[in-house]
């Protein structure tokens, strides 16, 4: 925890003060801001290790803040919000959040989630697999650079889509269920349902359509998905 920085973005001053006090006692360095516009600027200046992000914010809501952070960084984001419908959770995760905690929350549980996300992120970033660039016909995937190239040209792809594609391509020809993919790619106890995997696969297929006839992102009906190398 030493030198680990948390950025709290929440319009509720009491929540900000509570989180700042609690996590500072746990040994973190904490900065708290109260609107989305300042939140994005603070992220770029403060360079936190993790962000605790509310959804309902003035000037820029949490959805937009998450989008803008994901355009420049893959640092973990935990959304904390009173909006706790499945749709909200799925949307947050699809935008690139690493976890979603509903208000009111227990501080000890939130702290455990922060530690778990940081542990997974750091383990993931130091993993040997991440240093390998995967190449097949007309496609190149690098997690180290968070870069996807199709026909030699960079393609825009959100972090979770890239991670999902990388995982499937690395484990080519092997079928994974939705729950297995949630565990391996999202890496936490999922709070919504497995439909988010289907959404990410659908978006990847739109990007990959017509790129090559030597591999395919395939649905194995009744089981899950795989990246299949064609003969």
Per-residue confidence (pLDDT) for residue 127, from 0 to 100: 47
Quote the Cα angle for 136-141-145, to 5°.
150
Within the chain, all domains assigned CATH 1.10.10.10 are found at 128-229
Per-residue confidence (pLDDT) for residue 140, from 0 to 100: 94
How high is the mean pLDDT in each 10-residue block of the chain (231 residues)? Answer: 84 94 93 93 91 92 90 85 74 80 88 84 54 88 88 87 91 90 71 73 92 94 92 68
Pairing of strands 153-155, 147-150: antiparallel
Within the chain, all domains assigned CATH 3.40.50.2300 are found at 5-125
CB 78 within 8 A of CB 53: yes
- CATH for 128-229? 1.10.10.10
CB 143 within 8 A of CB 162: yes
Beta strands per DSSP E along 66-115: 77-81, 99-102
Task: Determine the length of the chain.
Answer: 231
Helix (H) or strand (E) holding 138: none
* Fold of the domain built from segment(s) 5-125: Rossmann fold (3.40.50)
Per-residue confidence (pLDDT) for residue 12, from 0 to 100: 93
Q: Residue 136: what are its φ and ψ, rounded to 5°?
A: -135, -175
Query: What dihedral do alpha carbons 184, 201, 86, 123 form, nearest 10°?
Result: 20
Per-residue confidence (pLDDT) for residue 16, from 0 to 100: 94
Q: Which two tokens stand for residue 127?
A: 């993993």
DSSP-derived 3-state class of residue 20: helix
Per-residue confidence (pLDDT) for residue 104, from 0 to 100: 86
Per-residue confidence (pLDDT) for residue 179, from 0 to 100: 84
Per-residue confidence (pLDDT) for residue 220, from 0 to 100: 92
Share of the chain residues as helix, strand and coil, in percent rounded to the nearest 5: 45, 20, 35
Instruction: For residue 117, give the nearest of 146, 79, 147 by alpha carbon.
Output: 79
Per-residue confidence (pLDDT) for residue 122, from 0 to 100: 66
């Amino acid at each position: 925890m030493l030198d680990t920085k948390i950025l709290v973005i929440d319009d509720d001053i009491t929540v900000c003060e509570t989180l700042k006090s609690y996590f500072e006692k746990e040994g973190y360095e904490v900065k708290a801001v109260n609107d989305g516009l300042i939140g994005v600027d603070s992220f770029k200046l403060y360079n936190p290790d993790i962000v605790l992000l509310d959804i309902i914010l003035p000037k820029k809501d949490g959805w937009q803040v998450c989008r803008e952070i994901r355009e420049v960084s893959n640092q973990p984001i935990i959304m904390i919000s009173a909006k706790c419908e499945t749709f909200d959770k799925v949307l947050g995760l699809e935008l690139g959040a690493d976890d979603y905690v509903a208000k009111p929350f227990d501080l000890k549980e939130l702290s455990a989630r922060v530690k778990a996300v940081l542990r997974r992120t750091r383990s993931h970033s130091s993993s040997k697999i991440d240093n390998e660039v995967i190449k097949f016909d007309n496609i190149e995937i690098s997690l180290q650079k968070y870069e996807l190239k199709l026909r030699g040209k960079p393609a825009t792809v959100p972090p979770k889509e890239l991670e999902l594609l990388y995982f499937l391509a690395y484990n080519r020809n092997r079928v994974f269920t939705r729950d297995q993919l949630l565990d391996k790619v999202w890496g936490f106890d999922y709070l919504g349902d497995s439909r988010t995997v289907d959404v990410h696969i659908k978006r990847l297929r739109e990007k990959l359509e017509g790129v090559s006839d030597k591999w395919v992102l395939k649905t194995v009906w009744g089981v899950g998905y795989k990246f299949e190398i064609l003969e």
